[in-house]
Amino acid sequence: MRKIRVGLLCGGRSAEHEVSLQSAKNVIDAIDRDKYEVVLIGIDRSGRWSLGDSAEFLLNAHDPKLIALNKMSEGISLAPGTMSNQLISQSTHLPTGAIDVIFPILHGPFGEDGTIQGLAKLANIPFVGAGVLGSAVAMDKDVMKRLLREAGIPTPDFVTFNRSQKEQIHFEEIRERLGMPCFIKPANLGSSIGITRAKDLTQFEAGIKEAFLHDRKILVETNIQGREIECAVLGNSNPMASALGEVLPSHEFYSYEAKYIDENGATLIIPAELPDDLTTRMRALAVETYQVLDCEGMARVDFFLRGEREVLVNEINTIPGFTKISMYPKLWEASGISYEELIDRLIQLALERFEEEQELET
Ligand SMILES: Nc1ncnc2c1ncn2[C@@H]1O[C@H](COP(=O)(O)OP(=O)(O)O)[C@@H](O)[C@H]1O
Ligand SMILES: [Mg+2]
């Protein structure tokens, strides 16, 4: 049988470039080579696509701070349309091959936010993970939280400001509405980049400034004192929920440093120690959240648990961290699905959705 050619997209323009490279390395190491052939596509910080050699595509692979794409070879683009050789060499302008499915391991804007998904759709190539809408909605914390609220799914109270509304951000008003400390976040990012926790006016003003460096829209959120519980979801129309995991950050919160730089920045506890009935309720809520936000393929739903039983949805990640030691794969491992099998299932889900879409009348 001919192998399925998987276009693995990694790197990317977002601030989560390095995280993506680490995930891609793990996927390359684990993917079933009897069934799949990896076509590695590295995206540099300027957004340029190049074909890479999956054996030596990384520099400093073991240092999360210095990890980088190796010098890539051929610049390529993806051509729209329904022909079968969608990868075009930028130097010769000739087709350089076909890919059967795209596996985007790109976090944040230009990867997780619907843009790559739109490009894959235009090129008529199946792709792993949420579609254009689900990706975009899940990326934008403001829209995501409004949809959750509309569905009656609890999420921390928040206010949103656009760049043009800067003059309307008043510390005292926000303190009255949300209390202090509060969290200040760019609407569209991830990995805690640009997120700060503010206790007083000085920190608040610095936080607003910081968040606006990363996005034109920001959120100020009420602080939830509680536990951080996560659930992995997998599937298209009948998604399933994994065991639950708990994140115990050793920093003030689950910051970028705690996530990726400090080896002891956080402890993951799988399965989370919770009463059975609460676990059942949270797993059901994870699936509901997934469906409300129009997700497919995979996503990780992150909760806050306040007190003994109050559950709030913090956010959903449509391309969660995917290294072997990341929460998403570990949750599936604890639920009986190995890393290798998870990759296989995700690709199959992508192909299934594509086939269903092809059957639709246009
Ligand atoms: N409202 C909040 N209350 C308490 N902690 C929060 C709140 N919002 C975010 N945090 C902390 O900041 C981390 C990152 O915030 P999150 O909204 O998940 O952004 P990202 O998409 O960057 O992961 C969370 O894991 C949590 O530790
Ligand atoms: Mg998060």
Confidence of residue 52 (pLDDT cuts 50, 70, 90): confident
Tell me the three-class secondary structure of the chain, residue by residue: CCCEEEEEEEECCCCCHHHHHHHHHHHHHHCCCCCEEEEEEEECCCCCEEEECCCCCEECCCCCCCCEECCCCCEEEECCCCCCCCEEECCCCCEEECCCEEEEECCCCCCCCCHHHHHHHHCCCCECCCCHHHHHHHHCHHHHHHHHHHCCCCCCCEEEEEHHHHHHCCHHHHHHHHCCCEEEEECCCCCCCCCEEECCHHHHHHHHHHHHHHCCEEEEEECCCCEEEEEEEEECCCCEEEEEEEEEECCCCCCHHHHHHCCCCEEEECCCCCCHHHHHHHHHHHHHHHHHCCCCEEEEEEEEEECCCEEEEEEEECCCCCCCCCHHHHHHHHCCCCHHHHHHHHHHHHHHHHHHHHCCCC
Best mutation site among 139, 174, 183 for ligand 1 pocket (most ligand atoms within 8 Å of CB): 183
Which one of the ligands is nearest to 247 CA?
Answer: 1
More confident residue, 165 or 57: 165
Whether the CB of 190 sits within 6 Å of ligand 1: yes
Mutating to test ligand 1, I would choose from 246, 247, 254, 313 the residue with most ligand atoms within 8 A of its C-beta, which is 254
pLDDT grade for 280, boundaries at 50, 70 and 90: very high
What average pLDDT does this structure show over 290-318? 97
Q: Nearest bound ligand to CA 19?
A: 1
> What is the Å distance from ligand 1's center to 225 Cα?
11
Q: Is the minimum distance from the CB of 195 to ligand 1 under 6 angstroms?
A: yes
Q: Is the CB of residue 124 below 6 angstroms from any atom belonging to ligand 1?
A: no
How far does residue 290's CA lie from ligand 2's centre (Å)? 15
Q: What is the pTM of this model?
A: 0.94
How many angstroms separate the alpha carbon of residue 222 from the centre of ligand 1?
11
| pLDDT per position as a tens digit, 110-132 | 888 999 999 999 999 999 999 99
Residue 35 pLDDT level (bands cut at 50, 70, 90): very high
Q: How confident is the model at residue 100 (pLDDT cuts 50, 70, 90)?
A: very high
| Ligand 1, pocket-test mutation among 189, 192, 252, most atoms within 8 A of CB | 192
Residue 53 — pLDDT band, cuts 50, 70, 90?
confident
- Identify the nearest ligand to the CA of 253 by its number: 1
Question: For ligand 1, is residue 228 a contact (CB within 6 Å)?
Answer: yes
- What pLDDT score was predicted for residue 284? 98
The answer, yes or no, to whether any atom of ligand 1 lies below 6 A from the CB of 192, is: yes
pLDDT, position 255: 87
Q: 158-203, pLDDT tens digit by residue?
A: 999 999 998 899 999 999 999 999 999 999 987 888 999 999 999 9
Res 92 pLDDT > 90: no
Ligand 1 geometric centre to CA of 9 (Å):
27
Q: How confident is the model at residue 261 (pLDDT cuts 50, 70, 90)?
A: confident
Ligand nearest the Cα atom of residue 15: 1
Is it the case that residue 83 has pLDDT exceeding 80? no
Domains of the chain: 4-127 (3.40.50.20), 138-142+147-152+225-355 (3.30.470.20), 157-222 (3.30.1490.20)
For ligand 1, whether the C-beta of 253 sits within 6 Å is yes
pLDDT for 69 equals: 84
Q: What is the pLDDT of residues 291-300, one digit of tens each?
A: 999 999 999 9
The answer, yes or no, to whether residue 209 has pLDDT greater than 90, is: yes
